[in-house]
Each structure stands twice: as C-alpha cells, then as structure tokens.
Amino acid sequence: MSTQLAAYTTSTGEAFQFWVLGTVAVIGALCTVFMKKAVHSALCLAGTMIILAIFYLANGAYFLGIVQIVVYTGAIMMLFLFVVMLVGVTAADSLKETIKGQRWLALVCGVGFGVLLFAGIGNASLKEFDGTGQANANGNVEGLASLIFTKYVFAFEITGALLITAAVGAMVLTHRERTERARTQRELAEQRVREGKHVPPLPAPGVYARHNAVDIAGLLPDGTPSELTVNKTLRERGQIRDVSAEALGDLRALEQRSEERLERTEIEPTTFKRPEEASK
Amino acid sequence: MENLIALLIAAPLLGAAVLLVGGRRLDAVGQWIGTLLSAASFVFGLILFADLLGKNAEHRTLTQHLWTWISVGSFQADVTFRLDQLSMTFVLLITGVGSLIHLYSVGYMEHDERRRRFFGYLNLFLAAMLLLVLADNYLLLYVGWEGVGLASYLLIGFWQHKPSAATAAKKAFLVNRVGDMGLSIAIMLMFTTFGSFAFGPVFSHAGDASEGKLTAIGLMLLLAACGKSAQVPLQSWLGDAMEGPTPVSALIHAATMVTAGVYLIVRSAAIFNLAPDAQLAVTVVGAVTLLFGAIVGCAKDDIKKALAGSTMSQIGYMILAAGLGPIGYVFAIMHLVTHGFFKAGLFLGAGSVMHGMNDEVDMRRYGGLRKYMPVTFITFGLGYLAIIGFPFLSGFFSKDAIIEAAFAKGGTQGWILGGAALLGAAITAFYMTRVMLMTFFGEKRWQPDENGNEPHPHESPKVMTIPMVLLAFGSVFAGGLFSIGDRFLNWLEPVTGHSEGHSPISAATVTGATMVCLVIGVGIAWAQYGRKPVPAVAPRGSLLTRAARRDLLQDDFNHVVLVRGGEHLTRSLVYVDHTLVDGVVNGTAAGFGGLSGRLRRVQNGFARSYAVSMFGGAALLVAATLLMRAV
Amino acid sequence: MNPVNYLYLAALLFTIGATGVLIRRNAIVVFMCIELMLNACNLAFVVFSRMHGNLDGQIIAFFTMVVAAAEVVVGLAIIVSLFRTRHSASVDDASLMKL
C-alpha cells in the first residue's frame, strides 16, 4: 500500500518542502526579472538555483543537485557577477518600456504560453510515478556514469568539444591584440610636453579633506567639480559624487555660525543658491 | 531545256545585283546593262516558247527543281520552277513588254541622275515577277509576290524627294500588306487542308476538301488578288501610284504587276472551280471594279490618273472573266495580254506627251498636240482604238469575248454581269475618247510651268518612239492573232480548261450591242469635248463628277472607317489599359506598398520584438500540438 | 502531494524567464532569464526521470548544464566586447545593422 502510494504522492515532508521552497523559488524568479540592478537580479537567481538544487536532490538526482550548486551557482553565477562588476555594478536599469506595445505583447504571450503549458500538463495523465529508487539502486552517480560512458558517449564527447570551442571563442571575443608597441613612460611624458596640456600629473580626487574618496571629483578654485580628477571608469559609469554644492552650503553655515558668535546683525540672505544636483 | 528556266530569272536578278551593288562607276552604262539583261531574259523566253511549241499539248509543262528550300517534318518547300502554257504567256508578256519599257526608259530617264538605280529596281521587278509566275508552289509564289511589292514600293517612291511620291509608295505598300495577309492565310489554310502548298498536290486533292474550306481559301486568294490588282475594296493605292516615273506606271501598274491577281485566280482555277461562292465573290468584285474604275477615269484631268482608272477597270474585266470559271479563264488571260500591249502603249504615249510638255500632266493644259508629236499621236491613237474595242483591234476580240462569257454565265447573274460589262464598255469609250480629244485635238491650252518655261512640244527621241511603235503593233494585231482560229484558246486550254457557256443571246447580238455602246460613249464624249472648247479650269461638275474626281471617296471612306475606327479603337484600348490594366497593376503595387509600409514597422531592429514574435510562435505551436492531441 | 506539481513549478519558472527575456533591456539580465528558463527545463527533466524511473532525464539535464555553461561563456564574452564598443549593455541599442 505504501509503495503504491509512493508512486502517486510524496511524503508530507517533501510536500511541505515543495510548497515553502517552491514559493521562494517563484519569488526569486520574479525578483530576477523585476529587480532594477543587475547585481540584485543575479543574487535572486542564485537563490532560485539553490532551491532548484534542493528539488533535484528531493527528486533523486543527487549528482545533479550537487553539480547545480557547484557548477551553476558556484561557477556560472559567479561569472555573471564578475561581468556585472565589469560592466557596471550599480548602474540601474530603467524599467520603463521604450518599445511601443512590447510589454503588453510580452505579457499576453507569457500568460498565454503559461496557460497552455499548464493545460498541457493538466491534460496529460501523469499519475504513474515509478520513482528513482530502482534506478539509483547502485548509486546515482554510478548509474549516470554507466549511461554517459555507454549510451551517451558520443554526445558527451561532443559536449566536451563544445566546451573547448566555447572557451576558445570567449578568449577570441574578449582578447584584444595589441597592434602597436606600448609607449614607454618617457614617450608619454614627451608627448604631454609637446601637446602642452596637463604637463603635470592629473589632479587627485577628493580634495578638501572631508571627502577623501576616489569617486568624489576635486573642486576647481571657482568651486566647480573637475572631471579630470576621477577615474575614467567611474566617469563612464556615471558614479561620481558631486560635493561642490555641499561645500558651498557648509561655507554658508559656517558664516552664519560665526555671525551668531560675533552677534552681528543678520545680513542679507546670500546670493548663493544651492545649485541643482549637477549630474543626477 | 528546263535548265533555261532559272536563267529567265537569273538574268534580271544579276542585273539588279550588279546595278544596285556596282555603285557610281556603272552610272554611265547602267541603263544599257539593265536593258540588255532584260532582253536576254526575253530571248530565253523565246527559246523556251519555241521549245514548247514543238511539243505536244500534253507535254508542254516543264519543271526545274533547283534545291529544297525548307524541309521541316511534313512542311516541304522546294525552289522548283514550273513552265507551262500559262507561265509561258506571262513570261513572254513580262520580258517582252518589260524589255520595250526598259528601252523606252533609256530615253525617258536620260536626265535623271539616279537612273542606274532606276534600272536596278526595274530588273529587280522583272526577276520578282518572273519568280511569281514561274513558281511551282504557293510559298515560292509568295516570295515573288512580295518581291514585286517591294519593287513597286521602290519605284513608286523613286522620286522620293517629292513628299507625294514617298507617301504614295507608303500607301501602296500598306494597302498591299492587307492583300498579302490574305495570301499568307490562304497558304496556311492550304497547308492545313492538303498538307502541302505545291501546285500539283493542291490541285489534284482539291476535290477531297470540303467546299467550306475551299471557299475560305478562295476568298483569301481573292483578297490577295484585290490587294495586288487594285480591286475594290483595296483599290485606293493605284491612283496615287502614278507618282512614280511613267515607265513604271506602264510596266508595273498597267501591264504586269497589277495583273498578278488575275494570274493567281486563274492559276488556282482548280480551287475556284469547286467553290462557287468564292467564284461569285470574284465576279462581283470584278464587275464593281470595272464600273468603279471607269467612273473614276471619266472625271480625272490628270492623264496618268485617268489611265490608272482605266487600268483598274480593265483588270476588273479580267477578274470578272476569271470569276466566271472555265468559260472565262482563257479570255481573262487573253484580255490581260492585249491589255498589256495597249495600256503599256498608252502609258508610254502619255509619258511621251509629258516629256514634251515639261512634265505637265493636266489634260486641260494640253490640246492640239497631234501636229507636234505625230508618232505619239498615232501610236496613242491605235492604243485608244484597241482599248475601246474598235472592230478587229486587240481589245475588240478580248473584251467582246469577256462580255459574251459574262452573259453565258446564265440566269439573272449572267444578265447583271453582262449588263455591267456592256455599261463598262460604253464608259470606256467615253473616257478614252475624252483623253484623246483633250490631249491631241482642240486648241492649245498650254501654260508655262512654275518656273515660267513655255512648253515646246516636240516628238520624243527614237529610243522612246520605237517601243511605242512596237507596242502599237501589238495593240493592233495581238487580238486578231490570238482569236482567229482560236489559237490562244487551244494554247491555254490544257492548263486552264475551257467550256462554252450557253449564252441567252447570240454572239452577234453581243457584238452588236457592244458596238452600240461604243458609239454612244464616243458620241457623248465628242459632244462634250470635241464640239465645244475644253475649259482650261475644270467646271464644278455634278455631284457624281466631284465624287469621281476624289476617286469616288475611296480615301474618305478608308479614313472614316479604318483610320478613325482604328483611332477610336486604340483610344478605347488605351483607356482600358490606363484604367483597368494599369489600375489593377498599380492597385496591386500600391496595396503591397501600403502593406509593406505597415509590415515594415514590425521590423524595428529590436531583438526583443523579434523575441516576442518567436515566443508567440512557440505558444501557437504548443496550442496547435494540444489541439491535435485533443482531436 | 502529487509530484506533478514540480512540473507546474517548472512551467511557471519557464514562463517567468521567457517574459523576463522579453521585458528586460539589460543584456546581462536577459541572459540570467535565459538561465532561468534552462533551469526550469532541467527541473522538468529531473521530474520526468523520476516519473519514468530511469536516469535518461537526468543525463539530458546534465548535458543541458554543459551546454548552458558553454553558452554563458560565449554570451558573456559577447556582452563584454559589446560593452567595450558601445559603453552600453542594452539590447535595444543594437537595433541597427551597424555600429
């Protein structure tokens, strides 16, 4: 009775696990889609994948469960995070749609496709579940190995070739051949002198010691920030913090405090206006 | 002896090639080369004639096979010549009259710079005409038929610097195309009916074909004959063809080429004999044309156009006779030959008069010329007497025979056709007497030409008068030579066959009636143009006269019916093309343009849009799979 | 609980991933959504394996993972080189047939 039942249903523990972790997995998937920042999406996806690994284990695919964690969550998702860092970790996407009707079409197609899949699964009479007990009798890894190296050996070899090709391809795509000799320090210095601008080294960021960080632009004598002072990568990502206005505000506050200390009459409000946020 | 047949054609063809290709260095002797080769052809003709006369009547058909021209499956066309009594008659007429006219042209074209070319064209014409009459199948005949059309075109438009000549040449060519179409359709019909278009198989199998098909072939042949022989309704080109030099009018548009239609019908006798409806059509065309041409001839003041009307009328007689069947074939050819003599003589006489009168053609500016050009007067007068049928001259015998044959057709048709022929004889007498009186009698009405040169009429040189004299001999004696002892009848009968009809009235009565008609016609003409002075400016005249001056409105008819009709047809076709055809095409194009303009927006370049369509497609596939499972 | 529910979950995840591919413009996120779809398929394969009581489904899932790894490697390389030339990782920016 119980063995027959096992074919139809699962244990209560597994059901509980499914409903709890399944909900989390769906939430994780939704977050992957709807998070503004790519790094958040990646983390949510990693969570979903770990849950999927647990589901693999629950379904008797022990080897795959471990591989899922090690390869997918461990390697592939880390690769994702790596690229996200490279491309712009904090650059947030606008979720505003730019193609007319794209969102509606996507939703209609998605919902329609989902409904169809559900209908298909519901229609299929999937009552008989043999369970993997017999197949895993000699151990899951051994079972897989005997299949991979006998029945699927050609596919296995070909996927190996595919992986090699992909690795070479990735190298070709990202590698840039240096077409000219790298210029020496001396040549660069001579070029700077010849061009006549920025003869000295570029100014350092974070002047006015309060804000000493690489992402803060140094201020020029007239109080405007100088883009030259920050790293080029940060400039391109738009990750420069502008503190020029803060400095003026601080100056005004300082003047006001000294007025109060010296008990002078209130002077006219300064013509200094707090400038609008410059870059954002 | 058969091998001489090809030489008949080769001689003038060689002349044409030499003269047309030879260039200016032959300018001095070109006319003599042309004349010599034409005469050589005549000599070959005489030799062959003598040979034929030496044989029995049954063996007088010579054939010469040169080479197989086209051989595609059952479509077999040979270059084979056939010389029988009918062809022989034509050969002698063409080369004989042709040689005389070549000789005449030597004098007539003496001052023309391009006369070498003229003689080249004349020789080309001779070669084509000989090919036409010697061909042993219809396709080869068609080549000759087109060849004479080409030569006619070139010679009518010989003075191409005159717009009227160029237009006339074009007109002749276009009208002839209509007839040529008839001949080509007839040849196609023959091929589908008999599987051949050689004379032998076609004539021997004519009895096997249905009468409907024979009638169709006959009508198409009649159309061809109408075009080439200027019969109603394709008659309009002949009057304008007089724009060509006068020797051309004499040779091509009087004596030979225009009679090709008669030859075609007589040659196709085997077909027409079995198609009475087609024969009736032939007689009707002949009768209508003989009156039409005669009426036109009465009203023309241009001497050549008056003679052209006469030519049309006389060929009408021949066509009428040819349509009568075996009763008339021989007489049609006999009239053809005698007409070749006297009409060529008349044209040469007219040319001689023009030659002496600064190329004036208006008879109202002639008058009293008999004293100034006696030879021309006498030869022209003999031709005149021959054509009106003066007793015992050529025309008397041949025309009388045709009128008798027309009555002999019997029944109402016989009376009508015979009556028309008699009436035509009277009108012929009238208009020819008119020409004669206006040209050679009365007082002088000469006027200076546009350059102010007073005409000084003088007799033409010997080289021109000798051919005229020889043709006058032919005009006088040919008829008698042919008729007395039925020589011509016996000569031609093996080819064309002959039967005596049952005339409701006796031959003597017909002759008498013809004489009466002749006297009436001459009398009226004398009353109008002999007794009273001829006005130098044409009077307004009656309605019929005015219509006849305009060729009985033939051009107006063609213009209204064909030109206007064609214009309306093309205009409506253009309208249909613009609205319907273009509408469909442009509408389709515009529809696809609009559709693609809308479809283009789908191709926005965004990968995500394409992904949506892919995903939608995948959803549809899933739906289709489920549906198939459900079903 | 019937194990079929795993299949429903896989279908749901797949649909979410597909919709994400259509909605997001950041190429990296699009790639993640594709990974999500692949994982949903893998889950289905594993469940089928359980259903039929043999290991072929797991083998297919294994191969899917290998192919996905290869795909990620190449895809991310493409994204990186794209970013280098355009300074953008938006898939909509590459809407013309030229740079």
Residue B289's contacts (CB-CB under 8 Å, 6 or more residues apart) are B230, B231, B232, B235, B312, B313, B315, B316, B319
By the 8 A CB rule, do B439 and B366 touch? yes
- Please write the tens of the pLDDT for every residue from C23-61: 888 888 999 999 999 999 999 999 999 888 888 999 999
Distance CA B167, CA B160 (A): 9
For B126, what's the count of Cα atoms within 13 Å in the CB-facing half-sphere?
38
> Closest chain C residue to A81 measured between Cα atoms?
C28
Identify the band that residue A92 occupies on the pLDDT scale cut at 50, 70 and 90: low
Q: Which CATH number fits domain A11-87: 1.10.3210.10, 1.10.3720.10, 1.20.120.1200, 1.10.540.10?
A: 1.20.120.1200
Q: Are B118 and B35 in contact (CB under 8 A)?
A: no
Query: Who's near C72: CB < 8 A, 6+ residues apart?
Result: A76, A79, A80, C31, C35
Min Cα separation C50/chain B (Å): 24
Instruction: Tell me the C-alpha distance between C20 and C36, whole Å.
Output: 9
pLDDT at A278: 43
Whether residue A279 is predicted with pLDDT greater than 50 in this model: the reply is: no
With CA atoms as reference, the chain B residue closest to A108 would be: B616
Residue C94 lies in a domain: no
The per-residue pLDDT for C97 is 65
Give the span between the Cα atoms of A237 and B18, in whole angstroms: 96
Residue from C8, C45, C51, C79 to probe the interface with A (highest A Cβ count within 10 Å): C51
Q: Is C99 on the interface with B (CB under 8 A)?
A: no
Cis preceding-peptide flag for B233 (omega within 30 of 0):
yes
Q: Token pair for residue B413?
A: 């048709």
Alpha carbon distance B342, B97 (integer Å): 10
Which residues in chain C are contacts of B615 at CB distance < 8 A? Answer: 18, 21-22
Q: How far apart are CA C79 and CA C31, in angstroms?
A: 10
Give me the percent of chain C exceeding a pLDDT of 70.
97
pLDDT at site B272 = 93
CB contact under 8 A, A106 and B609: no
A277: pLDDT confidence band, cut at 50, 70 and 90? Answer: very low
Nearest to A53 by CA among A28, A87, A30: A28
Q: Profile chain B (631 residues) by mean pLDDT over runs of 10 residues.
A: 88 93 87 93 94 87 90 88 93 94 91 90 95 94 95 93 92 92 94 91 90 93 94 90 92 91 94 93 94 91 92 94 91 93 93 87 86 91 92 90 89 90 93 92 83 82 91 90 86 86 83 92 90 81 82 84 90 92 92 90 83 90 88 76
Return phi, psi of residue A35, to 5°. Answer: -70, 140
Burial of B232 (0-12, 13-18, 19+ CB in 10 A): buried
Task: Output C85 or A40, whichever has higher pLDDT.
Answer: A40
- CA-CA distance, B335 to B318, in Å (whole number)? 7
Q: Which amino acid is at A2?
A: S
A117 chain-B contacts, CB cut-off 8 A? 622
- For residues C5 and A10, the answer to whether their CB atoms sit within 8 Å is no
Q: In chain C, which residues have their Cβ closer than 8 Å to the Cβ of A143?
A: 55
Contacting residues of B for A122, CB less than 8 Å apart: none
- What is the C-alpha separation between B108 and B463, in angstroms, rounded? 9
Looking at chain C, which subunits does it touch, using at least 3 CB pairs closer than 8 Å as the criterion? Answer: A, B
In chain B, which residues touch A (CB < 8 A)?
604, 606, 608-609, 612, 615-616, 618-619, 622-623, 625-626, 629-630
CA distance C42 to A230: 46
Per-residue model confidence (pLDDT) at position A280: 41
Residue A272: count other Cβ atoms within 10 Å of its Cβ.
13
Tell me, what CATH number does C36's domain have?
Answer: 1.10.287.3510
Q: Cα–Cα distance between C30 and B278 in angstroms, integer? A: 91
| C95 assigned to some structural domain | no
Strand partners, B68: B78
Which chains border B (3 or more CB–CB pairs < 8 Å)? A, C
User: What's the gap in Å between the CA of C66 and the closest CA on chain B?
Assistant: 24
Domain count, chain C: 1
Residue C93 has pLDDT above 90, yes or no: no
Query: Residue A103 — pLDDT band, cuts 50, 70, 90?
Result: confident
Give the whole-angstrom CA distance, residue B258 versus residue B318.
11
pLDDT at A207: 54
> Which residues on adjacent β-strands are paired with residue A216?
A241
Q: How far apart (Å, rounded) are the C-alpha atoms in residues B40 and B99?
A: 9
What is the pTM assigned to this prediction?
0.63
Residue C75 inside a domain? The answer is yes
Mention every residue, 6+ apart, whose C-beta is less than 8 A from residue B108.
B245, B246, B247, B351, B355, B464
- Touching C: B residues 590-629, CB under 8 Å: 604-608, 611-612, 615
CB C85 within 8 A of CB C97: no
Domain boundaries, position C4? 1-86
